[in-house]
Structure 1
Amino acid sequence: MSAVSSHVVVGPAPAAAGQPLLQIRGVETFYGKIQALKGVDMDVHEGEIVTLIGANGAGKSTLMMTICGNPRARAGQILFRGEDIAQMPTHAIMTREIAQSPEGRRIFGRMTVLENLQMGTTLVGQEHFDEDLRRVFDLFPRLKERTSQRGGTLSGGEQQMLAIARALMGRPKLLLLDEPSLGLAPIIVKQIFDVIRELNRTEGLTVFLVEQNAFHALRLAHRGYVMVNGRITMTGTGRELLSREEVRSAYLEGGHH
């Protein structure tokens, strides 16, 4: 297994070249006796989009869930702004300006679009609700048209937009996105990735993206990591990883456009 040591950023440089916003050090996670993560090290600097790619079952979503405290890391550190959150309960982690849009969307199907968005403000309160509502409707105009529609009746793409918008209503400094393109038409995927790029460019939002669609993810990200069987095997800029033959053959064959 080869590794790329370069961390040069393609596109806008991170806002802070010093301490990363998120540092993962030696993290090990188990499901019972089965070890899913095997000493994972990773950094996400403020103002970056960082993506984690890998095959289905590599451990990508497990890492995302471990950051959020469920399951707990059995070993290692997860530092957010220098504070180790690895052993904190999930509700305490989510009060630290971290928001997640989970795999499978998990919106509230019986609630309206507006009620789902209100749920996103649970930890930050309603003080900026109107302002933040306008912001997410500007990002996702489709949601504005469906304000009073129940979440469960939306299309898959609209549900994904709602899941991301709900996360943004919590005013996060770090947005965790788990498989946002899963099961969606290419045109919807492009719209969603364009919004992520725009949020990063205009607001400096830091994004950690777990994604099976390696082509789109590496084009979007400043830096990327490759995970195989619970271990990080490669890292580099998005452009570097896109150009590596082993990445192309493993993750980009099959005509991603």
Structure 2
Amino acid sequence: MTNAADTLLSVRGVETYYGKICALRGVDFEVHRGEIVTMIGANGAGKSTLMMTICGNPQARTGQIIYDGVDITSMPTHEIMRMSIAQSPEGRRIFPRMTVMENLQMGASLVDPKHFKSDLDKVFTLFPRLKERQHQRGGTLSGGEQQMLAIGRALMSRPKLLLLDEPSLGLAPLIVKQIFDAIRELNETEGLTVFLVEQNAFHALKLAHRGYVMVNGNITMSGTGQELLKKEEVRAAYLEGGAH
């Protein structure tokens, strides 16, 4: 059993609704400090709703979300995001008119400026392309570069927990590999805790210490990344033709 003190994020019995439609149906999962945990599932399974519910928009109608020992279930989003949680949202949502550097400065706006130079060096080491493009407007970057920028911006806030929503969406396999390698490196060298929701089950489960499968707002399976990769149901539903 894992010590409760090791649990950074605990979600218990969470139900989320859009009007009268139930999008999450009693979801239970947890993320321990220093882990990479992934939630896989088809498009529309409820993965992004779960990510948004953790961030307080929409709020869970029932259940409880505990982050770092604090109940954040009913907190407004801006307060949650001040608690060393950073999100790289689906669709990237960088500031397209701002330069790469300005985007990264926005990410660092809530932390002590004395860390800025060392954090910037870390992001540029992780994603050298961003250093090359630092004076370019975000909107002129390729999709892969924008994804790197979204993750880099999140890292500039010095998070304890990094939330990644579909980081591989629409990207070429080589770029996907670069991004997943960067996530692994951050976890191994910094001990960064990562919660990742992904349709790309093969890469996500290879990366993750533990994984969950979501179907229609329910968690239907859980296990280590390796265990889930070997399950016939997972292979049939998510990996056929996808193991590149």
CA distance in 1, matches of 2:39, 2:162: 14
* CA displacement at 1:18 relative to structure 2: 4.4
CA distance in 1, matches of 2:27, 2:185: 29
SS of residue in 2 equivalent to 1:217:
helix
CA distance in 2, matches of 1:19, 1:216: 26
1:227 aligns with 2:214: yes
* CA displacement at 1:24 relative to structure 2: 0.2
* CA displacement at 1:60 relative to structure 2: 0.2
SS of residue in 1 equivalent to 2:86:
strand
Q: Quick one: which amino acid aligns to residue 31 of structure 1?
A: Y
| Further displaced range: 17-26 or 98-107 | 17-26
1:99 aligns with 2:86: yes
Q: Quick one: which amino acid aligns to residue 178 of structure 2?
A: Q
SS of residue in 1 equivalent to 2:162:
strand
SS of residue in 1 equivalent to 2:87:
strand
> Where has structure 1 moved over 2 Å in runs of 4 or more?
16-19
CA distance in 2, matches of 1:212, 1:55: 6
SS of residue in 2 equivalent to 1:95:
coil
* CA displacement at 1:17 relative to structure 2: 7.3
SS of residue in 1 equivalent to 2:7:
coil
Structure 1 gap ranges (5+):
1-6, 8-13
CA distance in 2, matches of 1:140, 1:102: 18
Q: Quick one: which amino acid aligns to residue 160 of structure 2?
A: K
Which residue of 140, 143, 146 maps to 1:153? Answer: 140
Identity score, percent: 78
- TM-score scaled to structure 1, two decimals? 0.93
1:113 aligns with 2:84: no
1:183 aligns with 2:170: yes
1:37 aligns with 2:24: yes
CA distance in 2, matches of 1:38, 1:18: 26
Q: 2:190 maps to which residue?
A: 203
CA distance in 1, matches of 2:6, 2:24: 24
Structure 2 gap ranges (5+):
none
1:122 aligns with 2:109: yes
CA distance in 1, matches of 2:191, 2:214: 26
- Structure with greater helix share of residues: 2
Q: 1:25 maps to which residue?
A: 12
CA distance in 2, matches of 1:80, 1:255: 33
Which residue of 228, 232, 236 maps to 1:245? Answer: 232
Are the counterparts in 1 of residues 205 and 211 from structure 2 also a CA contact under 8 Å?
yes
1:47 aligns with 2:34: yes
SS of residue in 2 equivalent to 1:76:
strand
SS of residue in 2 equivalent to 1:128:
helix
Which residue of 149, 160, 174 maps to 1:162? Answer: 149
